[in-house]
Structure 1
Amino acid sequence: MGCISSKSVVAKAYSPSPTRVEVSETNRSSSRGRSGLKILDSKANLDNERNNKFKKNSSKKSNGAFNLRVGLAQRSVEAEQNAVGWPPWLTAVAAEAIQGWVPLKADSFQKLEKIGQGTYSSVFRAREVETGKMFALKKVRFDNFQPESIRFMAREITILRRLDHPNIMKLEGIITSRLSNSIYLVFEYMEHDLAGLVSRSDIVFTESQIKCYMRQLLSGLEHCHMRGIMHRDIKVSNILLNNEGVLKIGDFGLANTISTDNKHPLTSRVVTLWYRPPELLMGSTSYGVSVDLWSVGCVFAELFLGKPILKGRTEVEQLHKIFKLCGSPPEEFWKKTKLPHATMFKPQTNYESSLRERCADFPASAIDLLETLLSIDASNRGTSSSALMSEYFSVRPYPCNPSNLPKYSPSKEMDVKVQEDSSRKKIEGKMREVATSRRQQRRVSRLMQDQNNLGKSSSKENMQNISQNGHRDDGKTHLTRGKGGGMYKEHTKSALDTMSETSQMMNVVNGNGYSVPLQVPGSNNDYTWVKRRKQDASSTLSDGSRSKISALDPNFAKGTYDLTNQRVSMDFDPAELMNAQGRRELDAQRAIRKSRFGRDK
């Protein structure tokens, strides 16, 4: 017994509670006094420190062992995934996203035409070789050498695997291999998207059809929001439809989970500009599912209008259009939100809401729901569940059954872009043809004008050459203006240059077709001939007689106008061109020659 009691005392002494030890020891022996209590207390503290160190060491060992076990398990999982065909760069970063799946083989599908183009992906239509069933293959673009890029891609896979709803695109599988550097996500093929249907001028949605589309859209979003997932890119091109009238939400590339603790700020650079809510435009990094409800409101209005209701070119313009449509928020909004860019984008003018005027043709219940969804204050937009329970879906006409929706030919945003590009190219081609024809017409008219100007200038030069028949002497032409205003040459050369002057003679064609010398007014004789006879022909005449000899003498004309070089016709009848005085002089000259030479030459 004593041993047992002593053991009990010793056990109590080494217990982790020093207070109990002090009390027990005080009751059993009071002769030890305070010094004994102090000694015992110090021993207890020392024991406590040893126990704590032991616990810490044991916890470290256990944590290290746990981490080692986790690491080994993770390596084992990666090895298993690599063995079934997943690439190592994917299993090392995103093993959880593909856990339990086996990659599909690329040769199992026949890739056809491209049917979609996104910021981070391209979508192709493909046929499964074995069954002939159509699928949509989404090729995700990323850098397999950047772990963050792989995690971004893996997040979409993880989110899609968590969702299971008839109005959400279901991920059927993943195509890749150990040697592949790309990934294809396999989805069910959908014949249409809302962007393709809305843009068609031959399609006008009825109110019953719009309600059917909106109810399916809100049902799919409700499923996402209840599982803590924001889509963050709701727009008409990401809302798909098949020939059975079933609507499905696609493209979860920007989707993310809802942050409740706000420890990790979210990016505001999400949602396509025309569907982006005002809080994101003002830089909010703490938001929730209400961003999707704003985008749903934009899609809702677009189904009625046939075009986007808010179509800004920049973020500033987009926010300005929002304020003009929905009205400026009250002052309390700016104090409560404290958004990063609120001061920068706060409008200087207070706008009244013009939503009801813009949507005057909408049903009243539709306008009420639209005003709720397009509330500038995110807290007033409600939820997808409250939108489904709104009056809009409970009044006539009721939403039609998806199977009763019209059957359309395949219409996608990609088809619209191709048609727009082809039409734009045709218009540009016609404009180029018109511009080319106009340039040719201008060129032809310019050439004709140049020819006309050349003809005018040539005739003008000819007339000037006739009237201004200048003689160049050492590079100079000496001209003298006569009394009649005509220009004639002032002879400055000696008699030896007479033949050179004669060779430069210009002639005028008369009315009968004969070429005659030009008469220059203001001379001493009635006719002043520019041409002079040769020196040898006039050597036998005296100076006085030579002055009276006219160029009308045939021998004179023949000798003087030797036209072997000039090639100008000099055939004319002098007698017909002379007046009475000229004939008398000619007769006198003939008489003199007859008396001297014995015959008329």
Structure 2
Amino acid sequence: MDMKKRGPPKFQNGGIVIPETPPPPNVPNLDDKFVMTLDNGDQIEVDARELERKRELGRGAYGVVEEMIHRPTGMIFAVKRIHSSINDESQKLMSTELKAMKSGSCEQMVRFFGAMFREGDVWICMEVMDVSLDKFYRMNVDHHRRLPEPFIAKVALAVIDGLNFMKEQMGLMHRDVKPSNILLNKQGAVKICDFGISGHLTNSIAKTINAGCKPYMPPERIEGELKDAYGVQADVWSLGITLVEISTGTHPYDRWKTPFEQLKQVVREPSPQVDRRFGYSDEFHDFIAQCLIKNSNNRPKYAQLLEHPFLVKAKNNTSFDMGEFITSVLREEIKEEKFLQNLNMNGE
């Protein structure tokens, strides 16, 4: 399919007007519309042409996420548009995962409503969350604040709970755990997104970058494409790196110029640690150490981590209000943005 001849989407009256383009023959299960079931049992059809773009929520290597409104119903979606050509294997894998996500049975996973194929992209329609963990922790860094341990612990608990549920109940792994794939809302929910779907849709791309510089990749995946390099322990390592990053305010590894530099630092040097002067507990430091054990055979799996005192304490902690903490940080961020806008308007 010649993508260049079609050109970018055209905008009219604030909405996206998408020219009619039939899906390629190797994508039999995706159309330009889908049917979703509401909480009350009613069903509605969502057509791509009825979705109006409101704002961009994020952008990554595989595509862009935009907030869109469904004009007929007023429903708001987070729509991830993944630029991809889909082979048969990727189509089968994606269909399996989309069905699992659509079940809505895992409260730690971002709710999925449906998928469409338009303009050479796969559009994945999901619930809108308030902020990614990546943006959230940077808000605190910008104000010279460290994230409180109860917050970090509840994030870790939600992620491990979600990963464990999807592995045990659906037979799925994530393979791309990082702060930008963990989302928060003002009600205090912590949810995982991109549950391996981007990896399937961009299978050919993923294979070419596996040997490259991916900052959350575990040692076993850097050293070679072994069968056991894709076990659940790989996601455990990625979570460990994520927790080090959000607790210190910076990624534990330098930016690599070559794969050899990554090999040297991740594989051969000691695992990252969090400075004890930051004031986190012994349970926190031990949990990080367990996640970042170099030998994947010795690294704990989800069930073992759920029994760790760090997560047990988080599960029993009813005094820390996640929703209030997230809301207070976002509220302060909005106030600062308005203050800066006023300064710019006044020419100061």
Q: TM-score with structure 1 length normalisation?
A: 0.43
For the 8 Å contact 1:359–1:367, the answer to whether it is kept is: no
- What residue number does 1:324 align with? 269
- What residue number does 2:17 align with? none
- What residue number does 2:238 align with? 295
- What residue number does 2:147 align with? 205
Q: 1:278 to 1:184 in 2, by over 3 A?
A: same
For the 8 Å contact 1:240–1:249, the answer to whether it is kept is: yes
Determine the C-alpha separation between the residues in 1 that align with 2:332 and 2:65.
15
Answer yes or no: is 1:308 the counterpart of 2:219. Answer: no
Match among 188, 191, 216 for residue 130 of structure 2: 191
Shift of 1:325: 2.8
For the 8 Å contact 1:233–1:254, the answer to whether it is kept is: no
For the 8 Å contact 1:229–1:255, the answer to whether it is kept is: no
- What residue number does 1:127 align with? 69
For the 8 Å contact 1:112–1:127, the answer to whether it is kept is: yes
Equivalent residue runs for 1:366-381 within 5 Å: 366-381=284-299
Name the structure where helix makes up a greater proportion of residues: 1
Shift of 1:282: 0.8
Match among 168, 185, 197 for residue 109 of structure 2: 168
Determine the C-alpha separation between the residues in 1 that align with 2:321 and 2:279.
24
For the 8 Å contact 1:93–1:151, the answer to whether it is kept is: no
Shift of 1:206: 1.0
- What residue number does 1:521 align with? none
- What residue number does 1:406 align with? 326
Shift of 1:157: 4.3
For the 8 Å contact 1:191–1:410, the answer to whether it is kept is: no
Determine the C-alpha separation between the residues in 2 that align with 1:390 and 1:176.
43
Determine the C-alpha separation between the residues in 1 that align with 2:322 and 2:133.
14
RMSD: 3.4
Return the letter of the residue paired with 1:302. E
- What residue number does 1:469 align with? none
Q: 1:274 to 1:411 in 2, by over 3 A?
A: farther
Return the letter of the residue paired with 1:406. I
Answer yes or no: is 1:284 the counterpart of 2:219. Answer: no
Q: 1:105 to 1:382 in 2, by over 3 A?
A: same
Determine the C-alpha separation between the residues in 2 that align with 1:173 and 1:297.
31
- What residue number does 1:229 align with? 172
Q: Percent identity?
A: 22
For the 8 Å contact 1:139–1:182, the answer to whether it is kept is: yes
Q: 1:308 to 1:254 in 2, by over 3 A?
A: same
Determine the C-alpha separation between the residues in 1 that align with 2:99 and 2:322.
25
Determine the C-alpha separation between the residues in 1 that align with 2:234 and 2:176.
9
| Aligned length in residues | 285
Q: TM-score with structure 2 length normalisation?
A: 0.71
Q: 1:384 to 1:410 in 2, by over 3 A?
A: farther
Q: 1:174 to 1:282 in 2, by over 3 A?
A: same
Determine the C-alpha separation between the residues in 1 that align with 2:67 and 2:299.
37
Determine the C-alpha separation between the residues in 2 that align with 1:167 and 1:356.
26
Name the structure where strand makes up a greater proportion of residues: 2
Question: Which structure ranks higher in relative contact order (CA pairs < 8 Å, sequence separation ≥ 6)?
Answer: 2
For the 8 Å contact 2:156–2:311, the answer to whether it is kept is: no
For structure 1, the residue ranges without an aligned partner over 5 or more in a row are 1-84, 257-265, 327-353, 413-418, 420-601
Determine the C-alpha separation between the residues in 2 that align with 1:176 and 1:137.
12
For the 8 Å contact 2:62–2:198, the answer to whether it is kept is: no
Shift of 1:318: 2.6
Q: Which has the larger radius of gyration?
A: 1
SS where residue 245 of structure 2 aligns? helix
Determine the C-alpha separation between the residues in 2 that align with 1:152 and 1:376.
31
Equivalent residue runs for 1:531-570 within 5 Å: none
SS where residue 405 of structure 1 aligns? helix
- What residue number does 1:388 align with? 306
- What residue number does 1:155 align with? 93
Determine the C-alpha separation between the residues in 2 that align with 1:181 and 1:269.
22
SS where residue 222 of structure 1 aligns? helix
